[in-house]
Amino acid sequence: MDRQTKIRQVWDSFIYCMSLSWKSSKFYTVMQLLTMICAALAPVLMTCNTKEILDLPGSVHTENAAEQLILRIGMQFLLAMVQLVAAKAGSYAAVMQQSILMHNVELDMARTALEMELEYFDNSRYYDAFEAVKRDIYSVPGAVFNGISVISVGISVCSCAILLGMVSPLYTGMVLAASIPAAFSEHTYTKKIYLWGLEHIREERKMQYLYRTTTERAYAQEIRLYGTGQYLLDKYQRLWDMYFSEKRTVARARALWNLGLSALPESLSAAAMVHIGIKIIHGERTIGDFILYSGLLTQLIAGLGNLVSAVMELYEKKLKLNHFSEFQAMAKEKKKNGTKKLESPVTIEFRNVSFRYPDTEQYVLKDISFCLQQGKKLCMVGENGAGKTTILKLLMRFYEPQEGLILINDIPIGEYDRESLYQAFSCFFQKACNYAFHLQENVRISQIGYDEETAKKRQEEALRKAGADTLLKKLKNGTQTYLSRAYSEDGIELSGGQNQKIALARMFYRDAPVLVLDEPTADLDPQGEHELFHTLAEECRETSILFVSHRLANVFLADEILVMEDGHILARGRHEDLLQDCVLYRRLFHYQADKYRRRGEYENSSNR
């Protein structure tokens, strides 16, 4: 990249940061700018004033001396006060503005995450980028602050350089020139360290994951039971040691180069002081001049260092901001959407669908074809990993099949507007995931917008259908019970089966013509399981249902059962036919039937 492009980039970053700042708060932007300008000018003016104070004895008549001295010291005090107020007010404005900015970028990030295709969460490459962006957004407020501080440091450097240039253009030019190599080295290492950080984001993620396993509730039981805490910490430590030693190498090189190159202007400044000192000895300069030169030189060198750091930080943060905007654009671009509105799905058809997950070699679905007519029930059974859940994910358009078509009312689902497509479905996913909200909110969140009367009616009905009404009766705060103890003292923790019932209630609450259920009874007790299938059979006659179940004794409600094996449909038909014709189905059924029979015999014998 040539120098002009780099300068242009820094300029662009500056403009970008200033516009972000302006958009987030005009008041705090102006406040920061004013305070920073005052903070930059005050020390320069104070140095000039000090020279005047020192030179007073030789330059004024004795009768005016006291008056002049008081005036100058008064000015010094005033400037010191300006500097103090500017520093305090500036940091107040910076804190306020950073909070607003952080809030804005987090909102932006949340919106971006909501726009992302589901496959982003599966693919480690996308996930790396996602994590990098999540991390980088925290640099946005800093970048804006940098943008503003570049102005103040710039003003300070310019005023010092102009004043110094008026008395000694040679030294000013030499100090300015001597600062260039340090700026180059800073630039090179800024970029190097940023790219190094990007390359190592996966290690960082792995470390964060290990950290989370030791601190989060999900793993707490197992870690204690198996005593794996130290094992996980050691793993974390090994990763950290490798990560840190590499990071240290790059950071050390940066520090050494900067140290060496920053010594150059300092040496020139020392030479200049010697030169002025000699002139003072020869009576050509005053002590006041010495204080003025040394003060301005020190401020110029420090200012140049700060300017280089501020500009480089701006450059680094712009790299991160670029990353953020590229990711936002990518998330939006990826989102495929059709335009057709889906009114009511009469038929859902998979036609010769084959699919492999993005960036994987192996097909997990091969030539899948089936059709679900309105009001019919279709069940998928088969061993783990056969591809049942994947079929549901494709129907929800979380992924696109590589081959074949998925049609609703004979139109490929890709042509439908997603919102209208999703409006047709209500789903229960395998890992029932409730929200740390009130029970009522957990149920109602699947369909926002009902009037209170309808919402109340649907909620009661949904809880009853899901078999959660008995649970509700036991709750002191009823539907206002908070479903987590992590955020509320009188919140509760639900059992696996109870959790599942609330998630099922959420599914029933939404008024959708198609229900999709993935293993809805995995955590339910036998009575809950029986009641749910009974509800689905008796109370959802008009609703099309596509479900996955391992409880073969309950698939009686299905009009058609697909027996899946290794990504393809091995057999299809009704329960009785499959029992006769399909060896796998018969085997799966008998495993369970035997278990139930043995359990029944055991219960009978213990009742006797």
User: Nearest distance from residue 564's CB to ligand ADP, in Å?
Assistant: 6
Q: Which is nearer to ligand ADP, 147 or 387 (CB)?
A: 387
DSSP code of residue 521: T
Judged by CB, which is closer to ligand ADP: 243, or 398?
398
State which of residues 317, 377, 388, 501 lies at the interface with ligand ADP (CB under 6 A). Answer: 388
Pick the stretch among 97-105, 298-306, 323-331, 385-393 that binds ligand ADP (CB under 6 A).
385-393
DSSP, res 574 = -
Cβ atoms of residues 407 and 496 within 8 Å? no
How far apart CA 547 and CA 462 sit, in angstroms, is: 18
- Is residue 386 within 8 A of residue 556, CB to CB? The reply is no
- From 160, 177, 208, select the one nearest 42 (Cα to Cα): 160
Which positions from 360 to 379 touch ligand ADP by CB under 6 A, shown as an x/- string? x---x---------------
The reply on whether position 124 binds ligand ADP by CB under 6 A is no
Select from 18-26, 383-391, 438-446, 492-500 the region that touches ligand ADP (CB under 6 A): 383-391
The amino acid that residue 139 corresponds to is S
**Phi, psi at residue 188, to the nearest 5°?**
-60, -45
Which residues, numbered 255-294, are part of the site for ligand ADP (CB under 6 A)? none
CB of 300 to ligand ADP, least distance (A): 58
- Closest to 44 measured CA to CA, from 67, 76, 84: 76
Site pattern 69..108 for ligand ADP (x: CB under 6 A): ----------------------------------------
* Site membership for ligand ADP, residue 551 (CB under 6 A): no
Cβ neighbours around 99 below 10 Å, total: 14
Rule CB under 6 A: say whether 386 interacts with ligand ADP: yes
Nearest to 318 by CA among 99, 7, 9, 4: 9
Q: In this complex, which beta carbon is closest to ligand ADP, that of residue 42 or of residue 515?
A: 515
CA distances from 267 to 270, 444, 499, 523 (A): 5, 72, 71, 75
Q: Which residue has the tokens 């249902």?
A: 545
Least Å distance, CB 557 to ligand ADP, is: 20
Q: Does 387 bind ligand ADP (CB under 6 A)?
A: yes
What is the layout of strands, in order, in the sheet containing 365-373?
365-373, 347-355, 403-408, 411-412
Residue closer to ligand ADP by CB (options 118, 475) is 118
CB of 121 vs ligand ADP, minimal distance in Å: 8
**Least Å distance between CB 501 and ligand ADP?**
22
Q: How far is the CB of 122 from ligand ADP (least distance, A)?
A: 4
Dist CA 93 CA 102 (whole Å): 14
Q: Coil, helix or strand for 514?
A: strand
DSSP 558: -
Question: Which C-beta is closer to ligand ADP: that of 339 or that of 384?
Answer: 384
Question: Applying CB under 6 A, which part among 78-86, 274-282, 345-353, 387-395 lies near ligand ADP?
Answer: 387-395
Calculate the alpha carbon distances from 606 to 480, 513, 597 in Å.
Answer: 41, 45, 14
Binding positions for ligand ADP, 44-63, rule CB under 6 A: none
Please pick, from the candidates 4, 384, 604, 605, the single residue that binds ligand ADP as defined by CB under 6 A: 384
Count residues near ligand ADP (CB under 6 A): 12
The residue range among 260-268, 277-285, 357-365, 462-470 that interacts with ligand ADP, by the rule CB under 6 A, is 357-365
Binding segment toward ligand ADP, per CB under 6 A, in 16-24, 107-115, 356-364, 551-559: 356-364
Q: Interface with ligand ADP includes 385 (CB under 6 A)?
A: yes
d(CA 151, CA 154) in angstroms, rounded, equals 5
Q: How far is CA 185 from CA 188, 193, 301, 309, in A?
A: 5, 12, 16, 11
Q: Give the C-alpha distances (Å, rounded to integers) separating 39 from 45, 103, 376, 434, 466.
A: 11, 28, 75, 52, 66
Q: Which part of the chain contacts ligand ADP (CB under 6 A), choosing from 138-146, 187-195, 388-396, 600-608? A: 388-396
Kindly state the tokens that stand for 603: 């219960």
- Whether residue 505 contacts residue 440, with contact meaning beta carbons closer than 8 Å, is answered with no
- Interacting residue with ligand ADP among 156, 299, 390, 521 (CB under 6 A): 390
Q: Where does this chain bind ligand ADP (CB under 6 A)?
A: 122, 357, 360, 364, 382, 384-390
